[in-house]
Structure 1
Amino acid sequence: MRRTAFRLLGAAFAVAVSSLAAVAADTPVDLELVLAVDVSRSMDIDEQTLQRNGYVAAFRHKDVIEAISSGPSGRIAVSYVEWAGPAFQTTLMPWTIIDGEASARAFADRLAAAPMSHEHGTSISNGLIFVGPSFEGNGLAGERRVIDVSGDGPNNMGVPVNIARDPLIASGITINGLPIMIKRPGGFASIENLDIYYEDCVIGGTGAFLVPVTDIQKLASAIRRKLVLEIAARPAGLVKASDAKAAPRVDCMIGEKLREQWMRE
Protein backbone atom coordinates (compact mmCIF):
# COMPACT_ATOMS: atom_id res chain seq x y z
CA MET A 1 0.00 0.00 0.00
CA ARG A 2 2.79 2.37 0.97
CA ARG A 3 4.69 1.64 -2.27
CA THR A 4 1.53 2.19 -4.29
CA ALA A 5 0.93 5.49 -2.52
CA PHE A 6 4.51 6.61 -3.28
CA ARG A 7 4.11 5.62 -6.93
CA LEU A 8 0.85 7.55 -7.18
CA LEU A 9 2.43 10.55 -5.43
CA GLY A 10 5.43 10.39 -7.80
CA ALA A 11 3.17 10.19 -10.82
CA ALA A 12 1.14 13.15 -9.60
CA PHE A 13 4.33 15.13 -9.01
CA ALA A 14 5.58 14.33 -12.52
CA VAL A 15 2.27 15.48 -14.02
CA ALA A 16 2.41 18.68 -11.97
CA VAL A 17 5.99 19.42 -13.06
CA SER A 18 5.08 18.70 -16.66
CA SER A 19 2.10 21.04 -16.45
CA LEU A 20 4.19 23.80 -14.90
CA ALA A 21 6.80 23.37 -17.62
CA ALA A 22 4.13 23.63 -20.27
CA VAL A 23 2.79 26.83 -18.71
CA ALA A 24 6.28 28.26 -18.39
CA ALA A 25 7.33 27.37 -21.96
CA ASP A 26 7.49 30.23 -24.43
CA THR A 27 5.00 30.11 -27.30
CA PRO A 28 6.74 29.37 -30.60
CA VAL A 29 6.06 31.90 -33.36
CA ASP A 30 7.56 32.39 -36.79
CA LEU A 31 8.31 36.06 -36.15
CA GLU A 32 8.44 38.54 -33.29
CA LEU A 33 7.82 41.92 -34.93
CA VAL A 34 7.90 45.37 -33.34
CA LEU A 35 6.35 48.11 -35.46
CA ALA A 36 8.16 51.26 -34.26
CA VAL A 37 6.21 54.18 -35.70
CA ASP A 38 7.23 57.86 -35.87
CA VAL A 39 4.67 60.26 -34.36
CA SER A 40 6.91 63.33 -34.24
CA ARG A 41 5.53 66.73 -35.21
CA SER A 42 7.35 66.65 -38.53
CA MET A 43 4.69 64.12 -39.50
CA ASP A 44 1.56 66.06 -40.46
CA ILE A 45 -1.73 64.85 -39.04
CA ASP A 46 -2.82 63.67 -42.47
CA GLU A 47 0.43 61.68 -42.86
CA GLN A 48 0.02 60.16 -39.41
CA THR A 49 -3.56 59.23 -40.17
CA LEU A 50 -2.57 57.60 -43.45
CA GLN A 51 0.27 55.78 -41.70
CA ARG A 52 -2.02 54.41 -38.98
CA ASN A 53 -4.71 53.51 -41.48
CA GLY A 54 -2.08 51.77 -43.59
CA TYR A 55 -1.16 49.42 -40.75
CA VAL A 56 -4.81 48.84 -39.91
CA ALA A 57 -5.64 48.01 -43.53
CA ALA A 58 -2.59 45.75 -43.82
CA PHE A 59 -3.68 43.46 -41.00
CA ARG A 60 -7.10 43.18 -42.58
CA HIS A 61 -5.67 42.33 -45.99
CA LYS A 62 -5.66 38.79 -47.34
CA ASP A 63 -2.02 39.01 -48.47
CA VAL A 64 -0.80 39.69 -44.92
CA ILE A 65 -3.11 37.07 -43.41
CA GLU A 66 -1.96 34.48 -45.97
CA ALA A 67 1.68 35.29 -45.27
CA ILE A 68 1.10 34.71 -41.55
CA SER A 69 -0.71 31.41 -42.15
CA SER A 70 1.96 30.14 -44.57
CA GLY A 71 4.73 30.03 -41.95
CA PRO A 72 5.85 26.83 -40.19
CA SER A 73 3.95 27.74 -37.01
CA GLY A 74 1.21 29.66 -38.77
CA ARG A 75 1.47 32.50 -36.27
CA ILE A 76 3.47 35.62 -35.50
CA ALA A 77 3.60 38.05 -32.60
CA VAL A 78 3.33 41.80 -33.14
CA SER A 79 3.85 44.86 -30.94
CA TYR A 80 3.02 48.42 -32.05
CA VAL A 81 5.12 51.21 -30.51
CA GLU A 82 4.94 54.96 -31.16
CA TRP A 83 8.04 57.11 -30.70
CA ALA A 84 9.11 60.74 -31.09
CA GLY A 85 11.73 62.57 -28.98
CA PRO A 86 13.99 60.99 -26.35
CA ALA A 87 11.30 61.21 -23.66
CA PHE A 88 8.41 59.80 -25.67
CA GLN A 89 7.95 56.13 -26.45
CA THR A 90 4.71 54.30 -25.79
CA THR A 91 3.55 50.75 -26.44
CA LEU A 92 0.19 51.23 -28.07
CA MET A 93 -0.35 47.53 -28.73
CA PRO A 94 1.53 45.05 -26.50
CA TRP A 95 2.74 41.70 -27.83
CA THR A 96 -0.19 40.04 -29.58
CA ILE A 97 -0.20 36.63 -31.23
CA ILE A 98 -1.80 36.64 -34.67
CA ASP A 99 -2.61 33.22 -36.07
CA GLY A 100 -5.27 33.81 -38.69
CA GLU A 101 -7.93 36.14 -40.04
CA ALA A 102 -9.89 36.54 -36.80
CA SER A 103 -6.91 37.53 -34.65
CA ALA A 104 -5.46 39.73 -37.43
CA ARG A 105 -8.72 41.63 -37.78
CA ALA A 106 -9.07 41.93 -34.00
CA PHE A 107 -5.56 43.44 -33.83
CA ALA A 108 -6.46 45.88 -36.63
CA ASP A 109 -9.70 46.88 -34.91
CA ARG A 110 -7.95 47.63 -31.60
CA LEU A 111 -5.25 49.60 -33.40
CA ALA A 112 -7.86 51.61 -35.31
CA ALA A 113 -9.59 52.52 -32.04
CA ALA A 114 -6.40 53.54 -30.20
CA PRO A 115 -5.66 57.25 -29.64
CA MET A 116 -3.12 58.95 -31.88
CA SER A 117 -0.11 60.82 -30.46
CA HIS A 118 1.67 63.85 -31.89
CA GLU A 119 4.87 64.62 -29.99
CA HIS A 120 8.04 66.70 -30.17
CA GLY A 121 11.42 65.49 -31.44
CA THR A 122 12.88 62.70 -33.55
CA SER A 123 14.90 60.10 -31.67
CA ILE A 124 15.09 56.86 -33.62
CA SER A 125 17.83 55.81 -31.22
CA ASN A 126 15.78 56.12 -28.05
CA GLY A 127 12.93 54.35 -29.79
CA LEU A 128 15.28 51.43 -30.49
CA ILE A 129 16.57 51.48 -26.91
CA PHE A 130 12.96 51.35 -25.70
CA VAL A 131 11.82 48.42 -27.83
CA GLY A 132 14.97 46.27 -27.64
CA PRO A 133 14.33 44.82 -24.16
CA SER A 134 10.73 43.95 -25.06
CA PHE A 135 11.96 40.79 -26.81
CA GLU A 136 13.16 39.37 -23.48
CA GLY A 137 10.74 37.68 -21.13
CA ASN A 138 7.77 38.23 -23.43
CA GLY A 139 6.63 34.59 -23.35
CA LEU A 140 7.50 34.10 -27.01
CA ALA A 141 10.06 31.99 -28.87
CA GLY A 142 10.38 33.53 -32.31
CA GLU A 143 12.34 32.08 -35.20
CA ARG A 144 13.18 35.69 -36.11
CA ARG A 145 13.14 38.99 -34.24
CA VAL A 146 12.54 42.17 -36.23
CA ILE A 147 12.15 45.86 -35.45
CA ASP A 148 10.45 47.81 -38.24
CA VAL A 149 11.21 51.55 -38.04
CA SER A 150 9.10 54.04 -39.98
CA GLY A 151 9.85 57.76 -39.98
CA ASP A 152 10.26 60.92 -42.03
CA GLY A 153 13.56 62.29 -40.77
CA PRO A 154 17.00 61.45 -39.37
CA ASN A 155 17.78 61.01 -35.70
CA ASN A 156 18.31 64.50 -34.23
CA MET A 157 17.96 63.97 -30.47
CA GLY A 158 19.02 61.42 -27.89
CA VAL A 159 21.99 59.09 -28.26
CA PRO A 160 23.58 58.60 -31.72
CA VAL A 161 21.56 56.13 -33.74
CA ASN A 162 24.42 53.68 -34.31
CA ILE A 163 25.02 53.43 -30.55
CA ALA A 164 21.46 52.13 -30.17
CA ARG A 165 21.39 50.08 -33.36
CA ASP A 166 24.64 48.09 -33.22
CA PRO A 167 24.02 46.14 -29.96
CA LEU A 168 20.58 45.09 -31.21
CA ILE A 169 22.02 43.77 -34.46
CA ALA A 170 24.77 41.99 -32.51
CA SER A 171 22.10 40.25 -30.43
CA GLY A 172 20.49 38.81 -33.57
CA ILE A 173 17.69 41.33 -34.05
CA THR A 174 17.04 42.61 -37.58
CA ILE A 175 16.09 46.25 -38.12
CA ASN A 176 14.11 47.13 -41.25
CA GLY A 177 13.02 50.58 -42.41
CA LEU A 178 10.18 52.52 -43.99
CA PRO A 179 11.62 55.98 -44.73
CA ILE A 180 8.73 58.32 -45.55
CA MET A 181 9.88 60.81 -48.18
CA ILE A 182 6.58 62.36 -49.19
CA LYS A 183 7.21 66.04 -48.43
CA ARG A 184 9.99 68.17 -49.87
CA PRO A 185 12.70 68.66 -47.21
CA GLY A 186 11.93 71.89 -45.39
CA GLY A 187 12.32 71.44 -41.65
CA PHE A 188 15.54 72.22 -39.80
CA ALA A 189 16.54 68.55 -39.71
CA SER A 190 15.12 67.40 -43.05
CA ILE A 191 17.46 65.76 -45.54
CA GLU A 192 17.16 64.87 -49.23
CA ASN A 193 18.54 61.33 -49.07
CA LEU A 194 16.59 59.88 -46.15
CA ASP A 195 16.53 56.47 -47.82
CA ILE A 196 20.34 56.38 -47.93
CA TYR A 197 20.47 57.54 -44.31
CA TYR A 198 18.15 54.69 -43.30
CA GLU A 199 20.12 52.20 -45.37
CA ASP A 200 23.53 53.16 -43.93
CA CYS A 201 22.64 54.34 -40.42
CA VAL A 202 19.39 52.69 -39.26
CA ILE A 203 18.70 49.26 -40.74
CA GLY A 204 20.87 46.20 -40.28
CA GLY A 205 21.02 42.54 -39.38
CA THR A 206 20.20 39.36 -41.26
CA GLY A 207 18.07 40.08 -44.31
CA ALA A 208 17.55 43.74 -43.38
CA PHE A 209 15.84 45.87 -46.02
CA LEU A 210 13.93 49.10 -46.48
CA VAL A 211 10.96 50.26 -48.55
CA PRO A 212 11.11 54.00 -49.31
CA VAL A 213 7.80 55.84 -49.69
CA THR A 214 7.83 58.82 -52.06
CA ASP A 215 4.12 59.00 -52.95
CA ILE A 216 1.50 59.59 -50.28
CA GLN A 217 -1.01 57.58 -52.32
CA LYS A 218 1.26 54.54 -52.08
CA LEU A 219 1.92 54.65 -48.33
CA ALA A 220 -0.69 52.01 -47.46
CA SER A 221 0.45 49.63 -50.21
CA ALA A 222 4.10 50.09 -49.16
CA ILE A 223 3.23 49.19 -45.57
CA ARG A 224 1.36 46.09 -46.72
CA ARG A 225 4.16 45.02 -49.06
CA LYS A 226 6.78 45.48 -46.36
CA LEU A 227 4.78 43.45 -43.84
CA VAL A 228 4.28 40.59 -46.28
CA LEU A 229 7.99 40.48 -47.07
CA GLU A 230 8.95 40.66 -43.38
CA ILE A 231 6.54 37.90 -42.41
CA ALA A 232 7.59 35.70 -45.30
CA ALA A 233 11.31 36.60 -44.89
CA ARG A 234 11.64 37.32 -48.61
CA PRO A 235 13.25 40.76 -49.08
CA ALA A 236 14.62 39.85 -52.53
CA GLY A 237 14.89 42.76 -54.94
CA LEU A 238 14.55 45.42 -52.24
CA VAL A 239 17.08 47.90 -50.93
CA LYS A 240 19.13 45.94 -48.40
CA ALA A 241 21.45 47.00 -45.63
CA SER A 242 24.88 48.10 -46.79
CA ASP A 243 27.99 46.11 -45.91
CA ALA A 244 28.70 46.86 -42.26
CA LYS A 245 32.40 47.30 -43.12
CA ALA A 246 31.70 50.01 -45.69
CA ALA A 247 31.80 53.65 -44.63
CA PRO A 248 28.35 55.28 -44.53
CA ARG A 249 27.62 57.43 -47.58
CA VAL A 250 25.83 59.93 -45.36
CA ASP A 251 26.86 61.38 -42.00
CA CYS A 252 24.93 59.38 -39.40
CA MET A 253 25.06 62.45 -37.14
CA ILE A 254 23.55 64.74 -39.80
CA GLY A 255 20.30 65.23 -37.87
CA GLU A 256 22.07 66.21 -34.67
CA LYS A 257 24.34 68.62 -36.55
CA LEU A 258 21.42 70.26 -38.34
CA ARG A 259 19.60 70.65 -35.05
CA GLU A 260 22.66 72.18 -33.40
CA GLN A 261 23.02 74.61 -36.32
CA TRP A 262 19.34 75.55 -36.07
CA MET A 263 19.64 76.22 -32.32
CA ARG A 264 22.69 78.46 -32.88
CA GLU A 265 20.83 80.49 -35.46
Structure 2
Amino acid sequence: MGTNSSLKLVGAVAAALTLGLQARASDIDRAPHFDVDVAIVFAVDFSSSIDPDTADLQRNGHVAALTSPEIINSISGNHLGCIAVTYFEWASPAHIKVVLPWVKICGPADAESAAQVISKKGDTGFSRRGRGGTSISSAIGVGSLLLDQFPGSAERKVIDISANGENNDGYPVQQARNMAVEKGYTINAIAIPSKEDEDPGRPLASYFADNVIGGFQAFVMEPRAASDYTTALRRKLAREIALNSDPYSSKTGDRIEWRRVTAIAPKQWTRSQLAENFIQSFRIE
Protein backbone atom coordinates (compact mmCIF):
# COMPACT_ATOMS: atom_id res chain seq x y z
CA MET A 1 0.00 0.00 0.00
CA GLY A 2 1.39 3.42 -0.99
CA THR A 3 1.84 6.34 1.35
CA ASN A 4 -1.14 8.28 -0.01
CA SER A 5 -3.41 5.26 0.32
CA SER A 6 -2.25 4.69 3.89
CA LEU A 7 -2.91 8.32 4.81
CA LYS A 8 -6.39 8.18 3.28
CA LEU A 9 -7.14 4.95 5.14
CA VAL A 10 -6.08 6.43 8.47
CA GLY A 11 -8.17 9.53 7.89
CA ALA A 12 -11.27 7.62 6.84
CA VAL A 13 -11.10 5.16 9.72
CA ALA A 14 -10.50 7.87 12.30
CA ALA A 15 -13.24 10.14 10.98
CA ALA A 16 -15.83 7.36 10.95
CA LEU A 17 -14.91 6.17 14.42
CA THR A 18 -14.82 9.66 15.86
CA LEU A 19 -18.22 10.68 14.47
CA GLY A 20 -19.89 7.39 15.38
CA LEU A 21 -18.58 7.09 18.91
CA GLN A 22 -19.09 10.75 19.74
CA ALA A 23 -22.80 10.22 19.15
CA ARG A 24 -22.98 7.08 21.32
CA ALA A 25 -20.96 8.30 24.29
CA SER A 26 -23.95 9.72 26.17
CA ASP A 27 -22.60 8.48 29.50
CA ILE A 28 -20.18 11.44 29.57
CA ASP A 29 -21.47 15.00 30.00
CA ARG A 30 -19.57 17.04 27.40
CA ALA A 31 -19.79 20.75 26.74
CA PRO A 32 -20.08 21.75 23.05
CA HIS A 33 -16.90 23.84 23.24
CA PHE A 34 -13.76 23.23 25.29
CA ASP A 35 -11.37 25.94 26.46
CA VAL A 36 -8.56 24.10 28.23
CA ASP A 37 -4.90 24.37 29.17
CA VAL A 38 -3.92 21.22 27.30
CA ALA A 39 -5.66 18.70 25.02
CA ILE A 40 -4.21 15.19 25.29
CA VAL A 41 -4.77 12.20 23.00
CA PHE A 42 -4.05 8.88 24.70
CA ALA A 43 -3.01 6.50 21.88
CA VAL A 44 -2.80 3.01 23.41
CA ASP A 45 -1.35 -0.08 21.73
CA PHE A 46 -3.75 -3.03 21.48
CA SER A 47 -1.95 -4.97 18.76
CA SER A 48 -1.52 -8.74 18.75
CA SER A 49 1.49 -8.49 21.08
CA ILE A 50 -0.60 -6.94 23.88
CA ASP A 51 -1.59 -9.86 26.13
CA PRO A 52 -4.19 -9.58 28.92
CA ASP A 53 -1.60 -8.63 31.55
CA THR A 54 -0.24 -5.80 29.39
CA ALA A 55 -3.73 -4.67 28.43
CA ASP A 56 -4.65 -4.47 32.11
CA LEU A 57 -1.43 -2.57 32.80
CA GLN A 58 -2.27 0.10 30.24
CA ARG A 59 -5.99 0.38 30.97
CA ASN A 60 -5.64 0.42 34.75
CA GLY A 61 -2.60 2.69 34.55
CA HIS A 62 -4.54 5.38 32.69
CA VAL A 63 -7.49 5.05 35.07
CA ALA A 64 -5.23 5.42 38.10
CA ALA A 65 -3.30 8.33 36.60
CA LEU A 66 -6.37 10.35 35.66
CA THR A 67 -7.93 10.03 39.10
CA SER A 68 -4.79 10.50 41.20
CA PRO A 69 -4.56 13.51 43.55
CA GLU A 70 -1.30 14.53 41.86
CA ILE A 71 -3.03 14.87 38.49
CA ILE A 72 -6.09 16.63 39.92
CA ASN A 73 -3.79 19.13 41.64
CA SER A 74 -1.81 19.63 38.43
CA ILE A 75 -5.01 20.37 36.52
CA SER A 76 -6.31 22.87 39.07
CA GLY A 77 -2.93 24.61 39.25
CA ASN A 78 -2.97 25.65 35.60
CA HIS A 79 -4.30 28.88 34.06
CA LEU A 80 -7.79 27.63 33.14
CA GLY A 81 -7.87 24.70 35.55
CA CYS A 82 -9.17 22.25 32.93
CA ILE A 83 -7.76 19.74 30.45
CA ALA A 84 -9.37 17.70 27.67
CA VAL A 85 -8.59 14.07 26.93
CA THR A 86 -9.56 11.39 24.45
CA TYR A 87 -8.49 7.73 24.53
CA PHE A 88 -8.22 5.40 21.55
CA GLU A 89 -6.62 2.03 20.90
CA TRP A 90 -4.65 1.10 17.82
CA ALA A 91 -2.90 -1.80 16.12
CA SER A 92 -2.58 -2.05 12.32
CA PRO A 93 -3.98 0.80 10.17
CA ALA A 94 -7.31 -1.00 9.86
CA HIS A 95 -7.69 -1.63 13.60
CA ILE A 96 -8.56 1.57 15.46
CA LYS A 97 -11.02 1.89 18.36
CA VAL A 98 -12.04 5.16 20.04
CA VAL A 99 -12.81 4.25 23.65
CA LEU A 100 -13.33 7.72 25.11
CA PRO A 101 -14.29 10.67 22.87
CA TRP A 102 -13.17 14.16 23.84
CA VAL A 103 -14.12 15.07 27.41
CA LYS A 104 -13.29 18.06 29.58
CA ILE A 105 -11.78 17.40 33.00
CA CYS A 106 -11.80 20.19 35.58
CA GLY A 107 -11.94 18.22 38.82
CA PRO A 108 -12.26 14.83 40.54
CA ALA A 109 -15.81 14.11 39.35
CA ASP A 110 -14.92 14.70 35.70
CA ALA A 111 -11.80 12.56 36.04
CA GLU A 112 -13.73 9.72 37.65
CA SER A 113 -16.38 9.75 34.90
CA ALA A 114 -13.73 9.59 32.18
CA ALA A 115 -11.82 6.86 34.02
CA GLN A 116 -14.95 4.72 34.34
CA VAL A 117 -15.42 4.74 30.57
CA ILE A 118 -11.80 3.68 30.00
CA SER A 119 -12.10 0.96 32.64
CA LYS A 120 -15.36 -0.36 31.20
CA LYS A 121 -14.64 -0.13 27.46
CA GLY A 122 -10.84 -0.42 27.26
CA ASP A 123 -9.04 -3.41 25.78
CA THR A 124 -8.67 -6.54 27.92
CA GLY A 125 -6.23 -8.32 25.62
CA PHE A 126 -8.46 -11.37 25.16
CA SER A 127 -9.44 -10.50 21.56
CA ARG A 128 -5.97 -9.60 20.32
CA ARG A 129 -5.62 -12.39 17.76
CA GLY A 130 -5.84 -11.12 14.19
CA ARG A 131 -5.32 -7.45 14.99
CA GLY A 132 -2.13 -7.35 12.96
CA GLY A 133 1.01 -5.34 13.42
CA THR A 134 2.15 -2.29 15.35
CA SER A 135 1.46 0.82 13.29
CA ILE A 136 2.70 3.72 15.40
CA SER A 137 2.52 5.84 12.26
CA SER A 138 -1.23 5.24 12.02
CA ALA A 139 -1.60 5.98 15.73
CA ILE A 140 0.09 9.35 15.24
CA GLY A 141 -2.01 9.99 12.14
CA VAL A 142 -5.26 9.28 13.96
CA GLY A 143 -4.08 11.28 16.97
CA SER A 144 -3.34 14.24 14.69
CA LEU A 145 -6.79 14.00 13.14
CA LEU A 146 -8.43 13.97 16.57
CA LEU A 147 -6.47 17.10 17.49
CA ASP A 148 -7.41 18.69 14.15
CA GLN A 149 -11.05 18.11 15.08
CA PHE A 150 -10.68 19.19 18.70
CA PRO A 151 -13.90 21.06 19.64
CA GLY A 152 -12.37 24.09 21.32
CA SER A 153 -9.08 25.79 22.07
CA ALA A 154 -6.04 24.54 23.97
CA GLU A 155 -2.75 26.17 24.82
CA ARG A 156 -1.02 22.88 24.01
CA LYS A 157 -1.96 19.76 22.08
CA VAL A 158 -0.27 16.45 22.86
CA ILE A 159 -0.32 12.91 21.46
CA ASP A 160 0.65 10.27 24.03
CA ILE A 161 1.89 6.99 22.55
CA SER A 162 1.92 3.88 24.76
CA ALA A 163 3.45 0.86 23.00
CA ASN A 164 5.63 -2.22 23.47
CA GLY A 165 7.29 -2.37 20.07
CA GLU A 166 8.61 -0.54 17.03
CA ASN A 167 6.58 0.55 14.02
CA ASN A 168 6.22 -2.46 11.71
CA ASP A 169 3.06 -1.69 9.73
CA GLY A 170 1.69 1.20 7.72
CA TYR A 171 3.70 4.12 6.40
CA PRO A 172 7.03 5.31 7.91
CA VAL A 173 6.66 6.57 11.46
CA GLN A 174 9.07 9.46 10.88
CA GLN A 175 6.73 10.82 8.21
CA ALA A 176 3.76 10.72 10.58
CA ARG A 177 5.82 12.38 13.31
CA ASN A 178 7.01 15.16 11.03
CA MET A 179 3.48 15.94 9.84
CA ALA A 180 2.19 16.16 13.42
CA VAL A 181 5.06 18.37 14.56
CA GLU A 182 4.53 20.71 11.61
CA LYS A 183 1.00 21.28 12.93
CA GLY A 184 2.41 22.31 16.30
CA TYR A 185 1.54 19.10 18.12
CA THR A 186 3.82 17.43 20.67
CA ILE A 187 4.30 13.65 20.61
CA ASN A 188 5.42 11.97 23.84
CA ALA A 189 5.76 8.26 24.49
CA ILE A 190 5.98 5.62 27.19
CA ALA A 191 7.83 2.39 26.44
CA ILE A 192 6.08 -0.63 27.93
CA PRO A 193 8.67 -2.91 29.58
CA SER A 194 9.24 -5.98 27.44
CA LYS A 195 8.74 -9.49 28.77
CA GLU A 196 11.40 -10.71 26.36
CA ASP A 197 15.11 -9.91 26.22
CA GLU A 198 15.56 -6.57 24.50
CA ASP A 199 18.42 -5.85 22.15
CA PRO A 200 20.85 -3.92 24.39
CA GLY A 201 22.02 -1.94 21.38
CA ARG A 202 18.54 -0.69 20.58
CA PRO A 203 16.33 -0.11 23.64
CA LEU A 204 12.73 0.68 22.79
CA ALA A 205 12.90 4.05 24.53
CA SER A 206 15.84 5.07 22.34
CA TYR A 207 13.90 4.01 19.24
CA PHE A 208 11.00 6.17 20.39
CA ALA A 209 13.33 9.10 21.03
CA ASP A 210 14.89 8.84 17.58
CA ASN A 211 11.78 8.09 15.52
CA VAL A 212 8.52 8.77 17.36
CA ILE A 213 8.58 11.75 19.71
CA GLY A 214 8.74 15.34 18.52
CA GLY A 215 7.62 18.88 19.17
CA PHE A 216 8.02 21.24 22.10
CA GLN A 217 9.67 19.57 25.12
CA ALA A 218 8.93 16.07 23.79
CA PHE A 219 10.11 13.18 25.95
CA VAL A 220 9.99 9.42 26.46
CA MET A 221 9.19 7.65 29.73
CA GLU A 222 10.98 4.34 30.24
CA PRO A 223 9.68 2.33 33.22
CA ARG A 224 12.30 -0.20 34.33
CA ALA A 225 9.66 -2.83 35.16
CA ALA A 226 5.96 -3.43 34.62
CA SER A 227 5.30 -2.50 38.25
CA ASP A 228 6.66 0.99 37.51
CA TYR A 229 4.36 1.66 34.53
CA THR A 230 1.49 3.27 36.44
CA THR A 231 3.75 5.59 38.40
CA ALA A 232 5.72 6.53 35.29
CA LEU A 233 2.50 7.24 33.41
CA ARG A 234 1.23 9.45 36.23
CA ARG A 235 4.47 11.42 36.33
CA LYS A 236 4.38 11.78 32.53
CA LEU A 237 0.84 13.11 32.61
CA ALA A 238 1.66 15.51 35.45
CA ARG A 239 4.54 16.93 33.43
CA GLU A 240 2.34 17.39 30.38
CA ILE A 241 -0.34 19.18 32.37
CA ALA A 242 1.96 21.39 34.43
CA LEU A 243 3.40 23.29 31.49
CA ASN A 244 5.92 25.22 33.57
CA SER A 245 6.98 22.37 35.85
CA ASP A 246 10.62 21.48 36.39
CA PRO A 247 11.25 18.10 34.70
CA TYR A 248 14.29 17.50 36.89
CA SER A 249 12.47 17.76 40.22
CA SER A 250 10.86 14.93 42.17
CA LYS A 251 8.39 15.66 44.94
CA THR A 252 7.44 12.07 45.65
CA GLY A 253 10.81 10.55 46.48
CA ASP A 254 10.87 8.51 43.27
CA ARG A 255 14.27 8.02 41.69
CA ILE A 256 14.27 9.92 38.38
CA GLU A 257 17.06 9.80 35.84
CA TRP A 258 17.14 11.90 32.68
CA ARG A 259 19.46 11.26 29.79
CA ARG A 260 19.46 13.51 26.75
CA VAL A 261 18.99 11.92 23.36
CA THR A 262 20.03 13.31 19.99
CA ALA A 263 16.87 13.06 17.94
CA ILE A 264 16.94 12.19 14.26
CA ALA A 265 15.01 14.98 12.55
CA PRO A 266 14.58 16.39 9.05
CA LYS A 267 16.78 19.33 8.11
CA GLN A 268 13.79 21.65 7.78
CA TRP A 269 12.94 21.36 11.48
CA THR A 270 13.61 24.57 13.39
CA ARG A 271 15.40 24.78 16.72
CA SER A 272 12.10 25.51 18.48
CA GLN A 273 10.48 22.44 16.92
CA LEU A 274 13.30 20.21 18.11
CA ALA A 275 13.31 21.83 21.57
CA GLU A 276 14.41 19.25 24.14
CA ASN A 277 14.08 15.52 23.66
CA PHE A 278 14.52 13.32 26.68
CA ILE A 279 14.37 9.78 27.86
CA GLN A 280 13.18 9.62 31.44
CA SER A 281 14.31 6.42 33.06
CA PHE A 282 12.09 5.47 35.97
CA ARG A 283 12.55 3.15 38.93
CA ILE A 284 10.71 3.07 42.25
CA GLU A 285 13.17 2.90 45.13
Q: With the length of structure 1 as denominator, give the TM-score of the two structures.
A: 0.77
Q: Which residue of 1 aligns with 2:277?
A: none
Name the SS for the 2:222 alignment partner. Answer: coil
Larger radius of gyration: 1
Q: Give the CA deviation at 1:190.
A: 11
Q: Which residue of 1 aligns with 2:175?
A: 163
Q: Distance in 1 between matches of 2:220 and 2:108?
A: 26
Q: Which residue of 1 aligns with 2:96?
A: 89
Q: Give the CA deviation at 1:128.
A: 1.1
Structure 1: gaps of 5 or more residues: 1-23, 248-265
Give yes or no for the alignment of 1:227 onto 2:232. no
Q: How does 1:67-216 map to 2 (within 5 A)?
A: 67-116=74-123, 118=128, 119-185=131-197, 192-216=202-226
Q: Give the CA deviation at 1:33.
A: 0.2
Q: Give the CA deviation at 1:159.
A: 0.1
Name the SS for the 2:195 alignment partner. Answer: coil
Q: Give the CA deviation at 1:40.
A: 1.1
* Total equivalences in the alignment: 222
Name the SS for the 1:31 alignment partner. Answer: strand
Report the residue type matching 1:79 in the other structure. T
Q: Give the CA deviation at 1:220.
A: 1.0
Q: Give the CA deviation at 1:66.
A: 0.7
Q: Provide closer, same or farther for how the CA distance between residues 115 and 209 of structure 1 changes in structure 2, counting only shifts above 3 A.
A: closer
Q: Give the CA deviation at 1:25.
A: 9.0
Q: Which residue of 2 aligns with 1:41?
A: 48
Name the SS for the 1:144 alignment partner. Answer: strand
Q: Distance in 1 between matches of 2:264 and 2:188?
A: 15
Q: Distance in 1 between matches of 2:226 and 2:169?
A: 26
Q: Which residue of 2 aligns with 1:27?
A: 34
Q: Distance in 2 between matches of 1:190 and 1:126?
A: 27
Q: Where does structure 1 differ by over 3 angstroms across 4 or more consecutive aligned residues?
A: 189-192, 237-247
Name the SS for the 1:212 alignment partner. Answer: strand
Q: Which residue of 2 aligns with 1:54?
A: 61
Q: With the length of structure 2 as denominator, give the TM-score of the two structures.
A: 0.72
Q: Distance in 2 between matches of 1:245 and 1:35?
A: 23
Q: Provide closer, same or farther for how the CA distance between residues 79 and 167 of structure 1 changes in structure 2, counting only shifts above 3 A.
A: same
Q: Provide closer, same or farther for how the CA distance between residues 115 and 134 of structure 1 changes in structure 2, counting only shifts above 3 A.
A: closer
Q: Give the CA deviation at 1:43.
A: 1.9
Q: Deviations over 1:123-167 (max 9, x none)?
A: 000111112111223321000000000101000010000111101
Bigger fraction of residues in helix:
1
Q: Distance in 1 between matches of 2:43 and 2:93?
A: 14
Q: Provide closer, same or farther for how the CA distance between residues 71 and 240 of structure 1 changes in structure 2, counting only shifts above 3 A.
A: farther
Q: Distance in 2 between matches of 1:34 and 1:25?
A: 18
Q: Which residue of 1 aligns with 2:276?
A: none
Q: Provide closer, same or farther for how the CA distance between residues 46 and 82 of structure 1 changes in structure 2, counting only shifts above 3 A.
A: same
Q: Give the CA deviation at 1:222.
A: 1.0
Contact 1:154–1:191 (CA<8 Å) still a contact in 2? Answer: no
Q: Distance in 2 between matches of 1:190 and 1:154?
A: 15
Q: Provide closer, same or farther for how the CA distance between residues 229 and 127 of structure 1 changes in structure 2, counting only shifts above 3 A.
A: same
Q: Deviations over 1:192-245 (max 9, x none)?
A: 411110001000100101111220111111111111111112362345663455
Name the SS for the 2:223 alignment partner. Answer: coil
Contact 2:136–2:167 (CA<8 Å) still a contact in 1? Answer: yes
Bigger fraction of residues in strand:
2
Q: Distance in 2 between matches of 1:123 and 1:185?
A: 22
Q: Distance in 2 between matches of 1:239 and 1:35?
A: 24
Name the SS for the 1:54 alignment partner. Answer: helix
Q: Provide closer, same or farther for how the CA distance between residues 38 and 190 of structure 1 changes in structure 2, counting only shifts above 3 A.
A: farther
Contact 1:210–1:240 (CA<8 Å) still a contact in 2? Answer: no
Q: Which residue of 1 aligns with 2:247?
A: 236
